[in-house]
Structure 1
Amino acid sequence: MPHPSIASPTNAPAAPSTHAALWGRALRISAWLSFLAQTIIIGTGGAVRLTGSGLGCSEWPLCTPESLVPIYADQGIHGLIEFGNRVMTGVVGIIALAVLLLVLARVGGRGLVFSALRFAASGIVAAGIVFGLVSLFSLPATPFAMGALLVTVIAAMVRSVRLSSERRDLVVLAWIVLVGVVAQALVGGITVLTGLNPFIVGFHYVSSLLLVCVTAAFLVRLYAAVGPRVSAVPTWFAILSHVTGLALAVTILFGVLTTGSGPHSGDADVFRHGFDATILAHVHSWPGYILAALVAALTISAWALRLEPRKWLLVLVLAIVVQVGVGIWQAREGLPPLLVGIHMVLASLSAATYTVVVLHLKKPVAAQD
């Protein structure tokens, strides 16, 4: 039987069964692990780039032409770092799949779970067939096989969402994370095959950052009460919040371009964007300061008016202040790898916190009443 809500005290049965409580706890733990894993993989991906290990594994999905794992002495630490990041991709995927199956089991029972598993099996078969056909033409078969798997996963998502009558928000978010992980694996492979093209590397990072935001949104909706939602803030505050999001996006975009033009391209032989990193660093700081001012204005207004997202805005202020401090520090120190890596992870956490703020611009009708 579909469960009316996942983790909402407002809508939970008066005496939930032990079985339902265990499933709910498993889902909450898995959701938090998914958020942590998505954040950690940004750190491991940054380590690949910042240590020059981007081509530590010269092949994909194998590490070398003969082996899945590093086997050559000349790969050294670079091979281990690159392979470790690939292993982390598998961990992220397993956790994302666990979250999805737990949500489907609670929302639609065995029917939705078996439907998703059937699609998974058909996707694997389709990927194998595509791999075999493309191999006949002496082309890189793995990207095409991964593309076929991605198409199957998207089809499964569409069917699953259509069949879900309860907590469709959680179903959609869980599917987006799994689809994103599969897509990220494909993009990561293309990154290696293109010799660490800086634009693809940047896209790879932005995609990972968005997945951190989606897992954060899943956590917010998991703990939220079920039902219609109404605005919890004045219209002008909502508009200013979305303008702040635009400033955040522009800041991150120029940050990605700045990193791609700096000394950390992922490998000593990789060409960078060709932009002047010094100029880009200054351009990157401008929307950053605008962002800080907007967040400060939102926070002061929220506390003065006692608006719903005020506590999370304080968290965002802290994240922005630390981020600005690290950015100035790394610029003055000549972009040391450790500080650049911290800056990358903090950017994802700032974006995730902003996501939580936006989701608190509305509140359930029951809370309004």
Structure 2
Amino acid sequence: MRRICPVKRSVRFPASTTLLRRLALASIIANVAIVVTGGAVRLTASGLGCPTWPRCTDASYTTTSEMGVHGVIEFGNRLLTFAVGAIALAVVVGVLLHGARRRALLPLAIGVLFGIPAQAVVGGITVLTNLNPWVVGLHFLASMAVIAVAYALWRRIGEPDGPTAPTVPGPLRTLALVTTVVSVAVLVVGTWVTGSGPHAGDQGAARNGLDPQSISQVHADGVFLLIGLSVALVFAFRAVGARRAERAALVLVAVELSQGLIGFVQYFTHLPAAMVAAHMLGSCLVLLATLAVLWSTRERRPTEVPTPPTPAETPALTPA
């Protein structure tokens, strides 16, 4: 009697590319959320709710009842870092098990994963320096850098592995790149405005010494320049028939106008906490919309696999 051997089947990762992309999107959302909650820490004057780092107090890693609501808020924001890190770790594991594409995706996934503890370390330095406004600004910018890498990973997962090709003429790609640089500059100057304003994160925290009115004007000038460049991109993309890039630029203009409106309202209403929090969320959305425009100026095309010749095309052998 013949013995039937079981057929060995290869083990495959059960998650699809769609699931992996959803995990990457969740990573973007989580990193944006921690920016907003970090702003809540500062806006509620809870920046030193845990007066040391990495412990919350000299004797405890967790908040104590004596520390009150400020300790709860600050410690809660620290706990959220672990949730954001867990999502990033899930993305890395998914990429490792995804097979052929891991070589292209893994550097970005690891960048997000290691960027989160690096950002947390900068946050710890802000506590150890008693909320130095320049370090606080760097803490915010570190989060924005992680968001940018997470966005790149999300977009890259949805693309094939072929070479990139421009979708618009070279000068328009340069204009999109200049717009991106200006967008980043506006974010940087925005941290200077925050460092000069009333929301220090703690009643005893220092300010950066810049005149709030003057630096706010510099920030507003940068915003006007950014909006002008973005509107120019809309018309330029329309002129060359780049519909996808045009739609991305229109979204960017809409986000910028909304963010600008929030900025003016918060300035003339003397920086209420709710408006400042909305402005921080808007900063993240401006960055994401800017990156979407930059991404729309190129596309990645699948690598062409040579097809074998058909029997009619196969040369006949000549007898010797």
Shift, 1:364, TM fit: 2.7
The residue that corresponds to 1:79 in the other structure is 71
Is residue 30–residue 98 contact of structure 1 (8 Å, CA) maintained in 2? Answer: yes
**Any idea what the Cα deviations from partners look like across 1:231-253, whole Å, max 9, x if unmatched?**
11111101111111121122111
Ranges in structure 1 where 5+ consecutive residues have no aligned partner: 1-16, 109-165
Ranges in structure 2 where 5+ consecutive residues have no aligned partner: 1-9, 304-320
**Any idea what the Cα deviations from partners look like across 1:297-355, whole Å, max 9, x if unmatched?**
10122123221422221221111010110011101100111111111111111111211
The one-letter code of the counterpart of 1:222 is I
The residue that corresponds to 1:196 in the other structure is 131
Question: How do 1:124-163 residues align onto structure 2 when only pairs under 5 Å count?
Answer: none
* 1:321 pairs with one of 230, 242, 257: 257
**Any idea what the Cα deviations from partners look like across 1:81-122, whole Å, max 9, x if unmatched?**
1011101111111111110111012136xxxxxxxxxxxxxx
Please state whether the residue corresponding to 1:47 is helix, strand or coil. Answer: helix
Shift, 1:366, TM fit: 5.1
Shift, 1:18, TM fit: 11
* 1:67 pairs with one of 51, 60, 66: 60
* TM-score (norm: length of structure 1): 0.76
Q: Is 2:99 the counterpart of 1:107? A: yes
The one-letter code of the counterpart of 1:321 is L
**Any idea what the Cα deviations from partners look like across 1:262-294, whole Å, max 9, x if unmatched?**
001110001110111111111110010000010
Q: CA separation in 1, counterparts of 2:301 and 2:56?
A: 53
Shift, 1:25, TM fit: 4.1
Question: How do 1:87-106 residues align onto structure 2 when only pairs under 5 Å count?
Answer: 87-106=79-98
Is residue 258–residue 280 contact of structure 1 (8 Å, CA) maintained in 2? Answer: yes
Higher helix proportion: 1
* TM-score (norm: length of structure 2): 0.87
Is residue 32–residue 284 contact of structure 2 (8 Å, CA) maintained in 1? Answer: yes
Q: CA separation in 2, counterparts of 1:20 and 1:105?
A: 6
Q: Is 2:143 the counterpart of 1:214? A: no
The residue that corresponds to 1:331 in the other structure is 267
Question: How do 1:1-369 residues align onto structure 2 when only pairs under 5 Å count?
Answer: 20=13, 22-73=15-66, 75-107=67-99, 166-307=101-242, 308-365=244-301
The one-letter code of the counterpart of 1:232 is T
Q: CA separation in 2, counterparts of 1:336 and 1:354?
A: 27
Across the aligned residues of Structure 1 and Structure 2, the Cα RMSD in angstroms comes to 1.9
How high is the sequence identity, in percent, across the aligned residues? 39
Which protein shows a greater Rg? 2
Give the aligned length. Answer: 294
**Any idea what the Cα deviations from partners look like across 1:112-160, whole Å, max 9, x if unmatched?**
xxxxxxxxxxxxxxxxxxxxxxxxxxxxxxxxxxxxxxxxxxxxxxxxx
Shift, 1:58, TM fit: 1.1
The one-letter code of the counterpart of 2:255 is A
Please state whether the residue corresponding to 2:165 is helix, strand or coil. Answer: strand
The one-letter code of the counterpart of 1:175 is I
